[in-house]
Amino acid sequence: MSFNATIVKFSNVKYGLNSARFLSLNNGYYNGSNTIKTDAAKPYERISDFYAGKSVFITGGTGFLGKVFIERLLSTCTDIGSIYVLIRGKGGMSLEQRLQQMTDVPLFDKLKSLKPKTIKKIIPIEGDVTKPDLAIRTSDEQKLIDNVSIVIHSAATVNFSDTFSDAMKINYEGTKKVVALGKKMKNLESFVYISTAFTNADKLTIDEVVYPRLRKEEEVYSFIDIYGDDAEAKEKFLCGSPNSYTMSKSLCENYLQENRGSMKTIIVRPAIVSPMIGEPLPGWCDSWVAATALFSDVARGLTKVVYGHRNVVCDLIPVDYVTNLTIVAAARGNQSDDILVFNSCSSSSNPITWKRASDLFLEESLKYRKYEMKPRKVQFYMSPFVVKFMTFALQTVPAVFTDVLLRLKGETPKHLKMQKLPVVLRDIISKFTMTSSYIKSDNSLKLIATLDEKDKVLFPCDPRTISWLKYMPVFYRGVQKHLLKSKQ
């Protein structure tokens, strides 16, 4: 692994577009070629009006983002038709049990109490993106073909340590099958693919365009046949893409570019998705993704040393900002023949560094002081030797010492063991903590500018409105409550 990371400092990043211009663009629509045309004759279309009577098909609906897509659509677009959700069999549960499990979380409490009937608009469709034709029943497929206006394809494996072969099977082959289904839909207005801003993390500046693939499909499959998951060979093969997950997602973008047919296609690329910032439940999260796990390990005194530099930007974006932007993008549609790409991110408009974010998270946690291992502000080093040495000094030695004290008290030692996973996680995400990508979001900001004040309130997704000082405590409390199930 190369540790020659490039650090881009963002302290002087400006918004790039001026806000007075944004305001003058209300009532405009996005025409897909990086320009917004204002049309005085065209009445403003409210986002909820667009969805009235229309049905949406969501894959990955049981996931972190998927549940928020469903909750937000039902809460904000009351007259929406049906939301069809692709759900696979898992853990011996029936389709109905999985649906029940999906909505039986605090995220849906408000909706259930305020609009109890809307939950019935969710229609589960049994299927699996790894199976031929998605393994959807013929009658269900016909229902989707006849009724769906919007597809949001979010299903994926997001596990950075999944095998290359699984990432390709679920993410790439799965996307091909969802595209094939989308092409059959009679009333399809938008096909939205949820990608990741890091599909192009081999670049320092990431624009809202589909970049040429780093590797061809056949090259990937022949690599997998020969090398499987050989770490050293993979590192070279990935050509700067951080992992097999990001490469599989990048191939999906290229597949869409070449095979979308006449489908109006939109790609939304979230950066590092963090807990909810706004409605209905600030702090909501149910996924231990990169930054969430790292900050939590820092606050628990398990991680004190990280690869990188204090100025590297951590491109956080709250989950509801991603889903709201997607809902708005699908409603505004793609008026062009090209693919429309929206980066849902904060690095280019309101950046925060890993250091600042983890310090703010830790600061909030210290108000509660519950952990056995004393936490401290995280230290960043670029050199692998220094990281390893400081990890030994600041993490291993105190853990061994605390374990000895436990042994003396007749208790089972545990602290050294507890260090293992946090170190693995820290190393897996080192590419992100060592390099700042400047992820542009001009398209997204222009899209937001088409909203009137009421829709801006209903569908907040402008990263410039995030106060990190206020948000990071919400982030901390959300992790405690929903992931660690702590009562604090």
Ligand X SMILES: NC(=O)c1ccc[n+]([C@@H]2O[C@H](COP(=O)([O-])OP(=O)(O)OC[C@H]3O[C@@H](n4cnc5c(N)ncnc54)[C@H](OP(=O)(O)O)[C@@H]3O)[C@@H](O)[C@H]2O)c1
Residues forming contacts to ligand X in the complex (CB under 6 A) are 59-66, 86, 88, 90, 128-130, 154-158, 170, 194, 196, 249, 270, 272-273, 287, 289
CB of 271 to ligand X, least distance (A): 7
CB of 164 to ligand X, least distance (A): 15
Please, which residue, 158 or 302, has the CB nearer to ligand X?
158
Of the candidates 395, 176, 414, 186, which has an alpha carbon nearest to the alpha carbon of residue 302?
A: 395
Q: What contacts 282, CB < 8 A, 6 or more positions away? A: 275, 276, 474, 478
Pairing relation of β-strands 305-307 and 379-381? parallel
CB of 331 to ligand X, least distance (A): 19
Please, which residue, 154 or 443, has the CB nearer to ligand X?
154
In this structure, which amino acid lies at residue 230? Answer: D
Please, which residue, 88 or 260, has the CB nearer to ligand X?
88
CB of 85 to ligand X, least distance (A): 9
Residue linked to tokens 């062009």: 336
The rounded distance, in Å, linking the Cα atoms of 343 and 269 is 5
Residue nearest to ligand X (CB): 63
CB of 198 to ligand X, least distance (A): 7
Of the candidates 309, 277, 199, 280, which has an alpha carbon nearest to the alpha carbon of residue 474?
A: 277
Please, which residue, 172 or 237, has the CB nearer to ligand X?
172
Please, which residue, 196 or 348, has the CB nearer to ligand X?
196
Please, which residue, 155 or 168, has the CB nearer to ligand X?
155
What tokens appear for 53 in the block? 């009577």
Please, which residue, 234 or 249, has the CB nearer to ligand X?
249
CB of 232 to ligand X, least distance (A): 26
CB of 129 to ligand X, least distance (A): 4
Write the DSSP string, 208-270: SSPPPPSS-HHHHHHHHHHHTT-HHHHHHHTTT-SSHHHHHHHHHHHHHHHH-TT--EEEEEE
Pairing relation of β-strands 36-38 and 340-344? unpaired
The rounded distance, in Å, linking the Cα atoms of 81 and 454 is 22
